[in-house]
Structure 1
Amino acid sequence: MNKFFSTIRNIFAIEDLRTRIVNTLGFLIIFRLGSHIVLPATDPNMLGEGATEGILSLLNTILGGAFSKAAIFALGIMPYISASIVVQLLTVAVPYFTKLQKEGESGRKKINQITRVLTIAITLVQGFSYLQSGIIPAEAIMIDPFWWTVTNMIVLTSGTMFVMWLGERITDKGIGNGISMLIMIGIISVLPGALWAEALTRGGSELLFFILELVALFFVVMAVVMLTQATRRIPIQYAKQVIGGKVYGGQRQYIPLKINAAGVMPIIFAQSLMFLPGLVAGFWADQSDLASSIGRTFSSYTSWEYNLVFAILIIVFTFFYTAITVNPNQIADDLKRNGGFVPGIKPGRDTSHFIDGVLTRITLPGSIFLAIVAILPALAVQAGVNQQFAQFFGGTSLLIMVGVILDTLNQINSYLLMRHYEGMMKSGKIRGKSENVAVA
């Protein structure tokens, strides 16, 4: 305990780090306040519970409850994430965007500008769909519906752009990745209410069941931490070079290939597609019993059909996203150019094939584990856990929380070590981070 308080004192003794933490907290408070401000000309007392049940509850959890409250930040940062995913895919498929990506700082500025414009377009479409979806009941609208829709489309778009600006300010002036931090704080804000509701449900004779739930949640979190941090280290040897009478190189380093290199993106991709079957089937629900059945099945994330398709999509997207983010050919070329090689493997094409084979072998179990984590909330609901609390047993919510917290701890740890303070861990570094990492 003394070590813990000593570390806290060291953190706030560093002026730059202290300023960044205060800035981050201030920006997060502004974000949470905006999540409780209801859209203009909307009666909050007449809002229903349409976004707190079924598949929309997943989105509502990620947005920190703003979705169901018809807040000015009801869409949050999600349109920006959608735009970023689209642009990222374009950098792989479209030569113009690939060229921009290779142009350095000027290319990144152009890509960021395109992303912002695309965010506005996506927000307008999503804002219109949200306002017309029936989540906000007609009796809650206090003015003419047409002008209410037009006005609030502008408000929702402005809210999303402001949230995007807050995320950028946190990245520049605060701690951690701003966009991820905003998502995480929205998820965490729902946790106390979900935990309290579950505790009330399990009171009295079911107290033991509640304790078992907490124990199960602890082990799930530990498993997700292992999934996030697990790496396969490929040894790299550099040839010795004599420069100016001094010998350089010769030491062994490593290329750390993450078991889950794709992170949470496969779940986000798959979850985006899982909205489509129910949406498309809804258009023919009145004319076809089959369409009506499909709509009901894919509107419930606890059905086995939904989870089977969801798991398969996650496995496919994990391989896809890993393929576009980790390039074995580029790694092999960089190693060859810098005089590095994998012991026992010829430089160049053989090294590329070797890295690709290792990546494929570790991605398969990683993708299966990720799919299991993604469907755990549905299994928790089937086991009798409250739907809101079950969201924290896996899926996007838990992966984002674990990833952002680990990233933030790494950044704080770096500040401590730079100022010659003892790190937050006994080893001076967060586990899973290698000291000798080959730069590829």
Structure 2
Amino acid sequence: MLSAFVRAFRTPDLRRKLLFTISIMAIFRVGSFIPTPGVDYTNVQQCVAQSQDNTLLGLVNLFSGGALLQLSIFALGIMPYITASIITQLLRVVIPRFEALHKEGQQGQTQLTQYTRYMTIGLAILQSTTVITVARNDLLFPGCTVPIIPNDGIMTIVLMVITMTAGTTLIMWLGELITERGIGNGMSLLIFTSIAATFPAAMWSIAGSDDGITKFAIVMVIIVLVIGLVVFVEQSQRRIPVQYAKRMVGRKMYGGSSTYIPIKINMAGIIPVIFASSLLAIPGLIAQFGDQTADWVVWVSENVADPGAPLNIGLYLVLIIFFAYFYTAITFNPDEVADNMKKYGGFIPGIRAGRPTAEYLDYVLTRVLAAGSLYLAFVALIPLIAFIVLGVGTNIPFGGASILIVVGVGLETVKQIESQLQQRHYEGFLR
């Protein structure tokens, strides 16, 4: 990987793309520390120092690189765009128009991207209003006595909502700039930047605790082992062989080639973990606005909102497995794949084309997903395991959802760099 980066910086075109990408990532990090107008930055820093782990908004704070708890202009991070993208994909099942656009190729994808942008702005307005409401009601930092928003007049609130929404729109534009002019997927790299930015502070907090050096060494060993596991599984795939029959078109003969359909063990990626975490956060959010002495609020806080409660762990595992199958069923349609194969003269050796091929693909996909969903559940529970065994907190660096994103984005970016290097340094058979 390091040699690929060194060779990339020696190539002028790739060097410009890499420097452009790094510059955008630096701008993204700088914006995470600029406070939103109306926020008392000194009081926010004091509350951050006094607060405990906030599991309610932990996922959004993770994807914003800690900007959410800072109430900066980039407080919402890339989360509204991720949510809008997921909703757009889910609407393909409900709205035929979206499915038709998906099948129209580049023009249809451009229209879907435009819908995603509009939806991102709407979600940014909704989420910024929610975050500001939580901050005004002293729920963002429970137990903090100093006011975060000293002047909570209507004009101040409107200005804060506009600023946070504009920040999300700017992040979306920066991500698209990276995709267009830089290296890798822009949105994924911004998420990568947000997660990687929290790593030094988290490791420093572990090293500064009781028996910090021992815990630090153990956590580093766990991180290396888990990264190795994730790389191994993310690169693993079940290859279904496909043979294309020969056919004459005019005077030319086509087909007769062999290829395969790659089915990854983790077809759904990080989406099941995001869905499961978001759904489990809803009961805790509702309980925060209720009477804290009510029986149902106490029960929800102790059994559903507490990440160490057995019911919370059980629901988390069930939701991850469910969404792994659900999201894969949306993104990979065996009937559509079988029809396309039949249309172009392709078949799986030993399997008849058409309906039997679709049933075989569904059978293989179901068996592979059984291992993939359990793998996702195991990786998602790594922070809890570290908390129980080591007592280092539930948000250890590169734990759960973050490790899947960091490793996946890193692998994909390195692959793109290597592919562009091969295009520019391909020697061929004759020197």
1:388 & 1:275 partners in 2: Cα distance? 15
**AA in 2 matched with 1:104:** G
8 A Cα contact 1:198 1:389, kept in partner: no
2:270 & 2:26 partners in 1: Cα distance? 25
- The C-alpha deviation readout for 1:245-274, integer Å capped at 9, x for no partner, is 876543432111111111111111111111
8 A Cα contact 1:38 1:71, kept in partner: yes
- The C-alpha deviation readout for 1:3-52, integer Å capped at 9, x for no partner, is 955x4442123222111101101110110000000111322110113584
Output the aligned Cα RMSD: 2.2
- The C-alpha deviation readout for 1:56-96, integer Å capped at 9, x for no partner, is 33432221110111110000111111111112111111122
> Is residue 352 from structure 1 mapped to residue 358 from structure 2 by the alignment?
yes
> Is residue 407 from structure 1 mapped to residue 412 from structure 2 by the alignment?
yes
Q: Please give the secondary structure, in 1, of the residue aligned with 2:243.
A: strand
Q: Please give the secondary structure, in 2, of the residue aligned with 1:140.
A: coil
- Corresponding residue of 1:39: 36
- TM-score, structure 1 as length reference: 0.88
2:420 & 2:131 partners in 1: Cα distance? 42
List gaps (5 residues or longer) in structure 2: none
Q: How does 1:7-406 map to 2 (within 5 A)?
A: 7-47=4-44, 48-49=47-48, 50=51, 52-134=53-135, 135=140, 139-201=147-209, 203=211, 207-241=213-247, 248-286=254-292, 288-387=294-393, 390-393=396-399, 395-406=400-411
1:191 & 1:389 partners in 2: Cα distance? 10
2:168 & 2:289 partners in 1: Cα distance? 29
- Corresponding residue of 1:430: none
Compute the displacement of 1:150 (Å). 1.1
- Corresponding residue of 1:429: none
Compute the displacement of 1:172 (Å). 0.4
- The C-alpha deviation readout for 1:151-176, integer Å capped at 9, x for no partner, is 10000000000000001001001111
1:70 & 1:4 partners in 2: Cα distance? 36
8 A Cα contact 1:39 1:70, kept in partner: yes
> Is residue 418 from structure 1 mapped to residue 423 from structure 2 by the alignment?
yes
1:51 & 1:341 partners in 2: Cα distance? 57
Q: Please, which moves more after superposition, 331-340 or 131-140? A: 131-140
8 A Cα contact 1:329 1:352, kept in partner: yes
1:115 & 1:57 partners in 2: Cα distance? 24
1:209 & 1:51 partners in 2: Cα distance? 20
1:122 & 1:247 partners in 2: Cα distance? 52
8 A Cα contact 1:35 1:72, kept in partner: yes
Compute the displacement of 1:111 (Å). 2.0
2:99 & 2:254 partners in 1: Cα distance? 35
- The C-alpha deviation readout for 1:76-119, integer Å capped at 9, x for no partner, is 11111111111211111112222222333333233222222221
Compute the displacement of 1:207 (Å). 3.1
1:389 & 1:117 partners in 2: Cα distance? 33
In structure 2, the CA distance between the partners of 1:28 and 1:209, relative to structure 1 (3 Å rule), is: closer
1:9 & 1:109 partners in 2: Cα distance? 35
1:334 & 1:103 partners in 2: Cα distance? 15
8 A Cα contact 1:332 1:349, kept in partner: yes
8 A Cα contact 2:342 2:353, kept in partner: yes
Report the identity percentage. 41
1:410 & 1:9 partners in 2: Cα distance? 14
Q: Please give the secondary structure, in 2, of the residue aligned with 1:386.
A: coil
- TM-score, structure 2 as length reference: 0.90
Q: Please, which moves more after superposition, 99-108 or 118-127? A: 99-108
1:420 & 1:225 partners in 2: Cα distance? 27
Q: Please, which moves more after superposition, 318-327 or 289-298? A: 289-298
Aligned length: 416
**AA in 1 matched with 2:72:** A
1:399 & 1:119 partners in 2: Cα distance? 23
- The C-alpha deviation readout for 1:118-147, integer Å capped at 9, x for no partner, is 212111111111011032776232434322
Compute the displacement of 1:293 (Å). 1.6
2:2 & 2:70 partners in 1: Cα distance? 38
In structure 2, the CA distance between the partners of 1:241 and 1:106, relative to structure 1 (3 Å rule), is: closer
Q: Please give the secondary structure, in 2, of the residue aligned with 1:210.
A: helix
In structure 2, the CA distance between the partners of 1:278 and 1:322, relative to structure 1 (3 Å rule), is: same
**AA in 1 matched with 2:317:** A
In structure 2, the CA distance between the partners of 1:126 and 1:245, relative to structure 1 (3 Å rule), is: closer
Compute the displacement of 1:358 (Å). 0.2
